Amino acid sequence: MKLEAETGDVTSQLCTFLVDELHFGVPVEHVQEVLRYQEMTPVPLAPAVVAGLINLRGHIVTALDLRARLGLAPRGPDDRTAMNVVIRIGDSTVSLLVDDIGDVVEVEQGSFESTPPTLHASIRSLVGGVYKLKGELLLLLEAGLAIQMENPDGGHRSGHGERS
Amino acid sequence: MNLDETIQEFLIESRENLDALERGFVELETKPSDKEIIASIFRTMHTLKGTAGLLGFARLEHLAHAGESLLSNVRDGTQALTPEITSVLLAVVDRVRGVLGIVESTASDGTERHEDLVAALHALRSGAGAGAGSAAVAAASVRPAATSAPEPAAVPVAAPPRQPSAAPATPIPTPSVEATSTPPPAAQAALNSPPPAGVASSVSPSASIEAAPAPTSAVEASASPPPGSSAKPAAPTADAHPSTADLNVRVDVHLLDKLMNLVGELVLARNQLVQYGARNEDPAFTSASQRLSQITTELQEQVMKTRMQPIGTIWSKLPRVVRDLAVSLGRQIRIEMAGAETELDRTILEAIKDPLTHIVRNSVDHGIEDPPVRLAAGKPRTGTLSLRAFHEGGSVNIEISDDGAGLKLDAIRKKALDRGVITADRAMRMSDNELMQLIFMPGFSTAEKISNVSGRGVGMDVVKTNIEKIGGTVDLSSRPGAGTTIRIRIPLTLAIIPALVIESGGQRYAIPQVNLLELVGLDADEAKTAIESIRGSAFFRLRGRLLPLVFLDELFNPPPVPPPSLTGLPRAATGLPKPAGRQFAGAANIVVLQADEHQFGLVVDDVQDTEEIVVKPLGKELKGVAIFEGATIMGDGRVALILDVAGLAQHAAAFDPRRGSGQAAAAETDKDADEAERQSLLLFSVGEDETMGIPLSRVARIEEFPRSKIERAGRRPVAQYRGAILPLVELSPALYNTATATDGANVHVIVYSGRERAIGFIVNKILDVVEESYTVDRSTARSSVLGAAVVQGKVIEILDADDVLRMHAPTLLPQGAS
């Protein structure tokens, strides 16, 4: 649902989850599904954010460690507690590893604010804004950026891996 | 509109029949007296007529009946098949298609009575002069499209098929189609006067109706006028035959998709079960869940196969396209197809259908020259267009080549300059290849005459975009005067390849069998002798050649790189652990691989089975990881990565710059060699005072004993040595064709340690043992010689002991070389 800068009546639904005690939300239309911990196949020589590959109904989906992506301490290799938030945008499907899954929350446009500058830079780069909910801040995750390997300023990988 | 099921059936069947008719007509032209084809065509037309009649489509029946009558004459032999007849019959096919479109939207066969075509058919039948037939054909060609059918968007199919209105309008010489550009002069002329009659196989028509190409896009109605009849038509030599209907069933695509989804859900549930099972100790449960796991994977693979179709299904239209186009341009072209059975996922087929057609048109239109031009150039009059499709690795390759004029680089350069695409300065500096790439830019077309076929300038850039959208690549090569080849490479979302499963570092990986040369398993002792370290890199001796070794676990978990302050010191002094390769203790599993010209051995922990695996692409986000070409789902539902052997070789070479890439191992000169890498070399003389060397590590002992001690066992010289029988090989005769220079009554023997026994090399004289670091120049390798090396300032040859053994005492080879 588009967030229109009109009256505060416009609401959107966010799928929420927890990463290092920070609450994040992603528009439900970007979330294909949420899963508990899935067996992953590690990808050697891939960037550290790549936690591995999971088999999602026959489709092989890359799992990115959102902790690492946000610049937080990555999970240990034996960590089996992470949950999967499978993001689907366009024809890209990537799973984000999070600490825990929250509820689907309805938020109002009126409660949306810009990201506070106190947030760490590496996290801010992936956050589009915050929703002030009772008692806490819900960070709006830029799912499209999150599922890429690096931030645009950090240098994009090109789409085609042209190997000779 | 909700059509009656019978009518839907009729539509599907009839469309298939029309396709068969079309293919049949085109093929028949090349074999006009083939009775089987004629009979089959006749039957099909007859069926069409019958079913149309049954459903009350009188006008359709009327038209089909006329066609059938004409065919009957041909079948009986009272009339010969002429190109004119073929053209008219093809026109009938097109018209029927149009009517089917009307049926689809209105459940009736429209108001049109098709008298024009019927008249043409009658005229031909009664032999009332070919001219009459052609005139009727010409008249037919002017007809506007059937009214309630979708507008024939017979544009160069580079335009997206679903938006005919967006594409530039084709100058079909009909008033109902709005023309944004004037129809070509030839077509205009044809409109005004009947085309020349005759079925002469003359070379160039004086005027021919500019044919609107048979649309191959999704648009159904195609009232494209039939091409003029004067030129010898294209002669396709497709090897595609209609598939046997009996072995196939027709299934609704939506049903298949539902099946896919269900299987997907099953797989997810299976995964959960397997995870649970791993923690569960109950053997009965474990075995049952494993069985379930296997079955689920197989089910998944089979269901996915239902989406695969041979590329021949989209190729089957092309002979007609080429034929019509060639006729209209007055050229002669044959089309060859190889690999029509290559299978592709449905969605990919859809995506490449139009690009392929466009490329083919380009070849016909811009590539293949007119017959007189070809003859003048010493080429055969008939141009050849060849299509080739094959699987390689995880991709499907499609090549379209023609033996035409090739890309006209000067025209391209000029066009690019005119369009301001490149500066004059750049234009002069561009390589031929770069110039060729310019055709992929939007709006680029160098056709001097804009035919309604191609040359509209919307072409190759759309082709490239469409192909890249599905993750593929397009490339082209061209030689002026000789022809052009376009290569499309598409990674398949579904490719099944045989692969070897190996294990390393606790994970499984798959290696495509196409890259696999052999497997070598060494036990601990063999590994010690077979694996050598030359200047810090590990090599493996395989039948006399040294192959670089890559340790997969090391590659995936690279040892720490020495910090800059420590470089330059011998490794031993840095206190860093030596890479595993150097101190090889224990057995080794070596997979000998080849990619391009690179051969190397990959050391893995375990070698498992060879399986057929389904190749899945890695996500875009992982495209940069060059050592993997995809992933697959194993029998237990787990994901295994598929190694890209070429990428692996490159990465390994980059990882250790001292490694050569395969055959040219150890050819670099490394000035700052470490202390620890000096080798002990035993120097000896053979032949006529030639000096050779052999690594001391292989030498057991150096002996000297009287010649009289040499006995014969069978034909082989042996000596009794330390309580065993030592087989002997005289190196001078073996390598230099001279007798061993005797030093008194004694012979000098280098005892070389083999696997179970030792062997003695008889040499002229033992010279020295030196410790030196050297590189073997493999370009000087010959039989029994590894190559030359500079040792102590002199050039000497290094003995290839295994090769000697192989030739003279094969049973004593130190490793299990096959």
Across-strand partners of B509?
Answer: B502, B641
pLDDT of the residue at A9: 63
Report phi then psi at B532, rounded to 5. Answer: -120, 155
B contacts of A64 (beta carbons < 8 Å): 621
Helix boundaries (H) for B562-613: 571-574
B contacts of A55 (beta carbons < 8 Å): 267, 271, 633, 637-639
pLDDT of the residue at A153: 56
Name, in order, each residue with C-beta under 8 angstroms of B195's C-beta and a sequence gap of 6 or more.
B134, B135, B137, B138, B205, B207, B208, B209, B228, B229, B230
How confident is the model over A5-54, as pLDDT tens digits?
A: 445 568 889 999 999 889 999 999 999 999 889 889 999 988 888 999 99
**Are B621 and A157 an interchain contact pair (Cβ–Cβ within 8 Å)?**
yes
Residue stretches of chain B with pLDDT short of 50: 1, 129-245, 448-457, 565-583, 656-677, 813-818
Spatial separation of the C-alpha atoms in residues A115 and A139, rounded to whole Å:
8
Query: Which of A46, A160, A164 faces B622 most closely, judged by CB atoms?
Result: A46
**First-last CA distance in chain A:** 43
Cβ-contact B88, B195 below 8 angstroms: no
Query: Interface pTM (ipTM) of the complex?
Result: 0.84
Question: Å from B593 to nearest chain A CA?
Answer: 17
B contacts of A40 (beta carbons < 8 Å): 639
A contacts of B622 (beta carbons < 8 Å): 43, 46, 50, 62
Spatial separation of the C-alpha atoms in residues B15 and B316, rounded to whole Å:
14
Residue linked to tokens 């680029």: B444
pLDDT of the residue at B544: 65
**Are A158 and B624 an interchain contact pair (Cβ–Cβ within 8 Å)?**
yes
Tokens found for residue A112: 């949306």
Identify the closest residue of chain A to B625 by CA–CA distance. Answer: A46
**Are A62 and B639 an interchain contact pair (Cβ–Cβ within 8 Å)?**
no
**First-last CA distance in chain B:** 70
pLDDT of the residue at B755: 56
Spatial separation of the C-alpha atoms in residues B183 and B141, rounded to whole Å:
14
pLDDT of the residue at B380: 92
- Map residue B459 onto helix, strand or coil: helix
**Are A160 and B640 an interchain contact pair (Cβ–Cβ within 8 Å)?**
no
Note the Cα A99 to chain centre separation in Å. 11
pLDDT of the residue at B554: 85
Identify the CA nearest to B538 among candidates B602, B626, B606. B602
**Are A58 and B267 an interchain contact pair (Cβ–Cβ within 8 Å)?**
yes
Residue A160 has pLDDT above 90, yes or no: no
Identify the CA nearest to B388 among candidates B486, B512, B495, B479. B486
Write out the DSSP string of B641-687. EEE-HHHHHHHHHHHSTT--SSTTTT-S--TT--GGG-EEEEEEEET
Name, in order, each residue with C-beta under 8 angstroms of A133's C-beta and a sequence gap of 6 or more.
A105, A107, A111
- For strands A83-89 and A92-98, give the pairing: antiparallel
pLDDT of the residue at B3: 67
Report phi then psi at B714, rounded to 5. Answer: 70, -125
- Map residue B749 onto helix, strand or coil: strand
Tokens found for residue B194: 């009947």
Spatial separation of the C-alpha atoms in residues B4 and A131, rounded to whole Å:
55
Burial environment of residue B400 by CB neighbours within 10 A (0 to 12, 13 to 18, 19 or more):
buried
Of all residues in chain A, what percent carry a pLDDT higher than 70? Answer: 85
Cβ-contact B340, B310 below 8 angstroms: yes
pLDDT of the residue at B244: 44
B contacts of A46 (beta carbons < 8 Å): 622, 625
pLDDT of the residue at B817: 41
pLDDT of the residue at B4: 78
pLDDT of the residue at B394: 67
pLDDT of the residue at B401: 95
How many pairs of residues across A and B have Cβ atoms under 8 Å apart? Answer: 101
Query: Which of A42, A45, A159 faces B627 most closely, judged by CB atoms?
Result: A45
Tokens found for residue B513: 């069998």
A contacts of B623 (beta carbons < 8 Å): 157-161
